[in-house]
Homo-oligomer: A and B are copies of this chain.
Amino acid sequence: MAETVAVIGLGGMGSGIAGSLLNHGHTVTVYNRTAAAAAPLVARGARPAATPAEAVAPGGIVITMVANDAALEAVAEGAGGFLDRLGADGVHIVMGTHSTALVRRLAGRSQLVAAPVFGRPSAAATGKLWILQSGAAAAKARVRPLLEAASQGIFDIGEAPEAAAVGKIAGNFMIAAATEAMGEAFALLEKSGADARLWHDMMSKTIFACPIYANYGGFILDRAFSPPGFRLTLGAKDIGLALAAGQERSVPMPFASVLRDRFLTAVAQGRGDQDWTAIALNAANDAGLNTD
């Protein structure tokens, strides 16, 4: 029998996940800080809740998909937060990208499955996300049908809730690093008079024949930064999480440090609301290429 599940945080990603759950016949309760985002889901049968606490049942299951640590702390522990009501037997599926420190702390309040996702909102709506999960075996078994509804594949990385959290952070770092590498390569090719588009075509059909290089490279070449698939300020936050995780464990990350500065430059120059692939423009700007 399909479980009842609360979904808290109804941005593009959270709404997509809730929609996939509805598609699979789950009973879904939804909460969003600004209530309007809930309307399309309510029209499809979701039950709206006035507070995070009201969305969950004691010992039930709640999915959070919110933008940052502060937002997660607010819905979990703030006024009307769900943790007290959820209780130690309830399962909290953390699908957003959060600091390892916060995930570790929240894991002491309920059963916690870290289940961050890779994919864009459109993949969430069609159940095509990739999910990386970690947490206690029993909790993972219980929520498995829910994660399957939203994804085309679930990869397990162990029992420690922190593991999937750091895995997500590391993945986003790798994406940003690939973006910067393409930005530098494209700038070099363009200033050398070579056709960056033909070169990218080869790379993304051969040794780099994978979605990040194929798709993100295309966004960069097309300057397709608006509307954002993933906002640059969120990317900046995620690199900050990578650096914070590295700080906590004494792991120097020189590429992450370069990326930090690239994101800050992009924000300082007014690109914070563009897609995060726009950090690739830094290389072009520094090389004196007219990029606008």
Contacts and interface: CB of A to CB of B under 8 A. Distances in A.
Interface of A: 100, 118, 130, 132, 134, 153, 155-158, 160, 162-164, 166-167, 169-171, 173-175, 177-178, 180-182, 184-185, 187-189, 191-195, 198-199, 201-203, 205-213, 240, 242-243, 245-247, 249-258, 260-262, 264-265, 267-270, 283, 286-288
Contact of A167 (B132, B173, B189): B189
B162 A207 contact: no
Given A130-B206, A174-B181, A258-B258, A249 B192 contact: yes
A123 B195 CA distance: 26
A43 to B, nearest CB: 32
B288 A250 contact: yes
B255 A188 contact: no
A265 B286 contact: yes
A175 B185 CA distance: 11
B252 A265 contact: yes
What is the total number of copies of this protein in its complex?
4
Given A192-B162, A210-B210, A267 B250 contact: yes
Contact of A153 (B132, B174, B206): B206
B283 A162 contact: no
B208 A192 contact: no
A253 B188 contact: yes
Nearest to A267: B250
A209 to B, nearest CB: 5
Contact of A199 (B170, B182, B245, B246): B170
Nearest to A164: B194
Q: Which has the most chain B C-beta neighbours within 10 Å: A163, A262, A269, A288?
A: A288
A252 B283 contact: yes
A251 B194 contact: no
B202 A130 contact: yes
Contacts of A166: 188-189, 192, 194
A1 B260 CA distance: 52
Given A130-B202, A191-B249, 18 more contacts: A118-B206, A132-B199, A155-B199, A155-B206, A156-B198, A164-B194, A167-B189, A180-B255, A187-B251, A188-B242, A188-B249, A243-B260, A249-B287, A250-B288, A252-B260, A252-B265, A252-B283, A254-B262
